[in-house]
Amino acid sequence: MPPRIIDPRIKIRHIACFLEVARLRSVVNAAHALNISQPAATKTVQELEEVLGAALFDRSRRRLALTAFGDVFYRYASASIASLRQGIDAAQGAQEAAVIKIGALPSVSARILPEAVRQHCRAEAGVNTRIITGPNGYLLSLLRTGDVDLVIGRMAEPEVMLGLHFEHLYSERVVLAVRPDHPLLAARNFELGMIAHYQRLMPTPGSVIRPLVQRLLLASGVSIHGEEIETVSNAFGRAYVRQSDAVWFISEGVVALDVAENYLALLPVDMSETQGPVGFTMRAENGPGPALAAFMQTVRDVAAELRTRA
């Protein structure tokens, strides 16, 4: 029996546009990213929905959300594009230098990645490393489409890990960072509720650590509707905290070096409830090639050294 042929009306442009709209949850932003007009992007998605015979997006919300059908289609469509990218890269491998594309969350970028990349570049001449940073959801979308080969960071929630594989490297907590001469550092019997009168720097909605921080605040009787600045910018967080009385909820790895060099300090509060696994996230159906496998082993070695020092 001959293999079932994909409907010839479905083109690569349909899949590419659908994946970009799903990633950005906006037709306008997707059109801008793809360098096409908004009407063209809208028409492309509608054409794909007509061919598939089902709606891909729930348009009743302020921001687009995938329907149940769209979510299933997204996982397979992104995997197919990722496989196609890998095939093209493999075919061109003899002509181009090997490139490994790493998606890294900020805590990893600041803590273990610099040493891992330094060691890898010294040991693997001729292999270029591309580091892409950003929030977890963004990096996982790049992983599904093959725009990155590997994501290093906190494990995502189970519902978004379908089709992905996680390898644990070490555990990390969220900490509360302040400037070294912050008034709360001198407080007797410090407890978390004392931050209620201070401005807070918070992880943005959708970040992996946001729910952990909110649960901790609620459990400590601290209003989650206090004066907040939401940011994913570590550069802004460092600069703002050092020149204000704000307190910063941030993954420990982001500020570990700042604390060691006395540029920042940690408030003495038990943050063990925010502990979570950090490691590799990869597409489940694809094993790493030689260059990526060598890099992953270097990261494992650096992470092992970190655990030994902890």
Does 90 reside within a domain?
A: no
Q: What is the pTM of this model?
A: 0.69
Does 4 reside within a domain?
A: no
Residue type, 188: R
254 in the same domain as 183: yes
Does 92 reside within a domain?
A: no
139 in the same domain as 285: yes
Does 34 reside within a domain?
A: yes
130 in the same domain as 102: yes
78 in the same domain as 46: yes
281 in the same domain as 265: no
Cα distances (Å, whole numbers) of residue 237 to 107, 110, 221, 259: 13, 14, 25, 14
Does 259 reside within a domain?
A: yes
Q: Tell me what pLDDT residue 96 has.
A: 46
Buried/exposed code over 134-164 (b: 16+ C-beta within 10 A; e: otherwise):
bbbebbbbbbbbbbbbbbbbbbbeeeeeeeb
- What CATH number has the domain bearing residue 196? 3.40.190.290
296 in the same domain as 249: no
255 in the same domain as 180: yes
167 in the same domain as 281: yes
- What CATH number has the domain bearing residue 26? 1.10.10.10
**Count of domains forming the chain:** 3
The mean of the pLDDT values for the chain is: 85
Encode pLDDT of 33-86 as tens digits: 888 889 999 999 999 999 899 999 988 877 788 888 988 888 888 877 877 776
Mean pLDDT of 211-223: 86
Q: How confident is the model at residue 93 (pLDDT cuts 50, 70, 90)?
A: low
Report DSSP state, residue 289. -
Percent of the chain at pLDDT > 70 equals 92
Does 160 reside within a domain?
A: yes
Does 5 reside within a domain?
A: no
Q: Which residues contact 8 (CB under 8 A, 6 or more apart)?
A: none
Does 3 reside within a domain?
A: no
211 in the same domain as 157: no
Question: What tokens does 206 get?
Answer: 């959708």
Encode pLDDT of 162-176 as tens digits: 778 899 999 999 999
Four-point Cα dihedral 131, 203, 217, 256, nearest 10: 40
Domain that holds residue 302: 97-171+276-309
242 in the same domain as 180: yes
113 in the same domain as 234: no
